[in-house]
A and B are shown apart, each in its own frame.
Chain A
């Protein structure tokens, strides 16, 4: 006979599994790690939990912010931004160039290069190396010309008229138009990264090989990448600049929000990006630092599908913007960990104007606009496309649109499928999610060109000619004192078209363990790891 003790084993085992699930379970949680204290320490390993798998470690082919957060430690740019302060537009500072002059009405940029710098493979960094880099993405006659790089880098270098090597330590870029934002675009992140790679590495490993054998002049060098698992950088022992505190940095992609938070809570990682709003308060309670920054150049916006019949009417687009209470959205859906964005010129942008409002929240006006456009309540129907993280936002929009007589349905996808879906819009799609943002003032031009002009949106606004003129005027300006004013005028003109729908910007994003010291969330979409240290 089986003893009854053994017979009960199976259900007991299952109860043991299920009980905590059913009761919700209590238990105190321990926040990990010692305090890094006030004194910087050399040595140690920092582990970063990223919210996405990164693209590739080739500066000219990479895209995504998370990728640049790694790449910028390997590859350096001619100029950089001072990222040591959490507030203020970061100052442009020397990096691989020690000085520069801007002449010819902001068309010509001449850089004096830093002498004695070597790539981590031992080859020298000089004017020839810079030339090799620039020719790779601008000169179709060059042996190492790369179409992919050329296409990606076009965002910054499309209007480069010429590049000259003046002498061993001097290079000169000349653009077809004044390009005041060039310096600001050089250290910018995401795509079109101007990080300088070792020509010898490209010659040795080939166009495709650079991504897996990245060689630059930066404070860290590449050790290994195990796709889907981690990327390891180690300190560049022959770095030309100040010794970074850390000996090693490991970046680990943890796509799932809750798993990423758990990894931080258990001490498996020291720093995470994209903290879900629901976790901010609990992480802070457990002693993690979740710094606030209300000027990070990031913006979540919706784009209009101009192939949708209803949205070709500006009054309908205007009504959509006026129907949404963005302040309440930031307060409720994002629990106050986001700011309402009422202009595409994101917070933290050089041309940011906190007073700029495209269309005030006014449901009554929205209803009237819809009636003026000739539609009955409930007649306008479209789909809102979102990724799953943005679903609560999309549903909030849906609810408020319903109140003004617009019948929107929400379709949300894992962000992996979202990209595909958003690149292949149907006529019934109305709004689709986007995220970008810049410190550089010419972001207005970039946003207009990619989300409106390229999508045929200009023809559905009778004021778009004025917008294009205003953008051209700002882009063509060579006077630094007029930058702000001209781009603000351009953005006001763009706002009138109601061709883009700014929504919110985050004010919390990173969470940091107590064992980390010196981490600063600057007014930029990446951070400087060279001054970060970890406790023993």
Chain B
């Protein structure tokens, strides 16, 4: 077991190296030019060349790559081209805010998704199930952007229950309650797609489990519904829930990037959206790298969790 985990951890290292190369060279290969884009309409070619030189952007690409990797291991993480302050100082606080949003959204997605899926699965084929699935179908096709705007319009503008955006009340003292109040709507918007994916998986797993022979056997032997659901169906649908949740976090992170824009949530998505127009490479690269690392970590954790949930592996089986 320990060996499996160690192997998975080791496997992540070359993966991270490849990711760093991709992150760097994709942004280099793109048409963007940090100086030209921001100022080209307002500067001459000579002036642009001067600025490029001042920022070291005229050095060979591999030198820039090495410089970038080196800078990642400094306390500043390099210097933002547009704001001229340390990259980590910009990226880490934003990342923390994104993690908070993603964690809240994932929690909502899992709790509500599992709840909806379970209830629909148990009532398989009945009206309640069909109605739920219809709404799941509609919900899955809602664009996150549009859904976010509707939530703002309803909860903030029309009903006045929740703030229209931001992470805290700029007029107030802040605090935990204020933060939670600001978190609800964006977390819900970011969770929607993942929640419905989980709901569908859980429903399918519950139905499959319910129709399996051993459940029928239990039932024929007079086990109560509560015991069957709790002890047997519940345990059997757990691995797919963990597996799907791992995948869903990915969609939640992607959704969060858009949600942050709509809800003015000061996370990594907002930072990236504002860094891209200025082609602020150091910030964009660090931000994307951080997201990539997050994905790698989540996959690792999911894999390890699945290993732990798999009794065959837990009892020392060789696995595949």
Contacts and interface: CB of A to CB of B under 8 A. Distances in A.
Interface stretch (B15-23, B41-49, B236-244, B299-307): B41-49
Interface in A131-165: 146-148, 150-152, 154-155
Contacts of A263: 164-166, 264
A268 B170 contact: yes
B165 A265 contact: no
Contacts of A7: 119, 122-123, 126, 128
B233 interface: no
B85 A211 contact: yes
Interface stretch (A111-119, A246-254, A291-299, A313-321): A246-254
A454 B44 contact: yes
A55 B83 CA distance: 6
A94 interface: no
Given A18-B139, A55-B82, A63-B42, A419 B277 contact: yes
Contacts of B54: 146-148
Given A30-B160, A45-B171, A55 B278 contact: yes
Contacts of B50: 147-148, 150-151
A384 B158 CA distance: 38
A450 B42 contact: yes
A419 B38 contact: yes
Contacts of B119: 2, 6-7, 9-10
A265 B153 CA distance: 10
B317 interface: no
Contacts of A436: 41
B154 interface: yes
A423 B37 contact: yes
Contact of A29 (B38, B79, B157, B225): B157
Given A147-B53, A255-B273, A266 B156 contact: yes
A227 B271 contact: yes
B52 to A, nearest CB: 10
Size bin of chain B's contact surface: 35 or more
Interface stretch (B28-36, B60-68, B210-218): B28-36
A9 B119 CA distance: 8
Given A416-B277, A420-B32, A208 B157 contact: no
Nearest to B79: A208
B26 interface: no
Interface string A70-104: 00000000000000000000000000000000000
B256 interface: no
A56 B82 contact: yes
Nearest to B126: A7
B136 A14 contact: yes
Given A227-B94, A259-B263, A268-B165, A14 B31 contact: no
Interface string A198-222: 0000000001110110000000000
A451 B41 CA distance: 7
Given A45-B171, A151-B48, A250-B170, 20 more contacts: A1-B225, A2-B119, A2-B225, A4-B128, A6-B119, A10-B115, A14-B132, A53-B270, A55-B38, A227-B83, A230-B266, A252-B170, A256-B149, A262-B157, A268-B163, A416-B277, A420-B31, A420-B276, A423-B36, A423-B37
Q: Sort A-B residue pairs by CB-CB distance and give the 6 closest, nearest first.
A: A229-B266, A53-B274, A151-B47, A228-B270, A14-B135, A208-B84
24 contacts: A2-B119, A14-B136, A20-B150, A27-B159, A58-B84, A146-B54, A147-B50, A150-B50, A152-B47, A207-B84, A211-B85, A228-B266, A259-B149, A259-B152, A262-B152, A266-B160, A266-B164, A268-B165, A415-B277, A419-B38, A420-B277, A423-B31, A423-B36, A450-B42
Interface of A: 1-2, 4, 6-11, 13-15, 17-18, 20-21, 25, 27, 29-30, 45, 47, 52-53, 55-56, 58, 61, 63, 146-148, 150-152, 154-155, 191, 207-209, 211-212, 226-230, 250, 252-256, 258-259, 262-263, 265-266, 268, 415-417, 419-424, 434, 436, 450-451, 454
Interface of B: 30-33, 36-45, 47-48, 50-51, 53-55, 79, 82-85, 90, 93-94, 112, 115-116, 119-120, 122-123, 126, 128, 131-132, 135-136, 138-139, 149-150, 152-154, 156-160, 163-167, 169-171, 225, 261-264, 266-267, 270-271, 273-274, 276-279
